[in-house]
């Protein structure tokens, strides 16, 4: 999922939102740590709540950079979700399984279904 928008990562997490499902998932894509560092925490929690909730349950390893492609793959990591870490998260984390709506999201990089959906890139 290299260079995909944050909403796609958030949606992927939402559709797999259980310790059993997430523990079988491996994501190669934009660094979750980088997302956390670049976004205000209130924006991360409001717009990308599934990323925000799973940050303490994910392991991440940056892919080695290559001097020729520094500007292309500089933020790429492998992410996995160890079952032990997911089970250590608060039980309330797993209660909310509402579909993300992105109502107030200004930097949305996906097309939403339904009325008023707009595409931004």
Closest to 59 measured CA to CA, from 36, 40, 30, 33: 33
Instruction: Report the domain count for the chain.
Output: 1
pTM for the model stands at 0.85
Q: Is residue 107 part of a domain?
A: no
Q: Is residue 55 part of a domain?
A: yes
DSSP string, 31-82: -HHHHHHHS-HHHHHHH-HHHHHHGGG-EEEEPPP-GGGHHHHTTEEEEE--
What tens digit of pLDDT does each residue of 3-32 get? 899 999 999 999 999 999 999 999 999 999
Q: Is residue 109 part of a domain?
A: no
Q: Is residue 1 part of a domain?
A: no
Question: Which structural domain, as residue segments, surrounds residue 70?
Answer: 6-94
Distances (CA, A) of 110 to 58, 85, 121: 24, 30, 8
What tens digit of pLDDT does each residue of 74-111 get? 789 999 999 999 999 999 999 989 999 888 887 777 76
Contact (Cβ atoms closer than 8 angstroms) between residue 44 and residue 51: yes
Q: Is residue 40 part of a domain?
A: yes
């Amino acid at each position: 999922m290299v260079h995909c928008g944050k909403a796609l990562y958030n949606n992927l997490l939402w559709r797999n939102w259980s310790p059993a499902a997430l523990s079988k998932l491996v994501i190669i894509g934009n660094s979750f740590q980088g997302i956390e560092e670049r976004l205000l925490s209130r924006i991360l929690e409001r717009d990308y709540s599934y990323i925000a909730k799973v940050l303490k349950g994910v392991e991440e390893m940056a892919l080695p950079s290559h001097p020729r492609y520094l500007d292309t793959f500089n933020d790429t990591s492998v992410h996995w979700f160890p079952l032990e870490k997911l089970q250590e998260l608060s039980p309330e984390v797993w209660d909310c399984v509402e579909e993300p709506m992105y109502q107030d999201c200004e930097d949305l990089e996906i097309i939403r279904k339904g009325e008023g959906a707009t595409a931004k890139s």
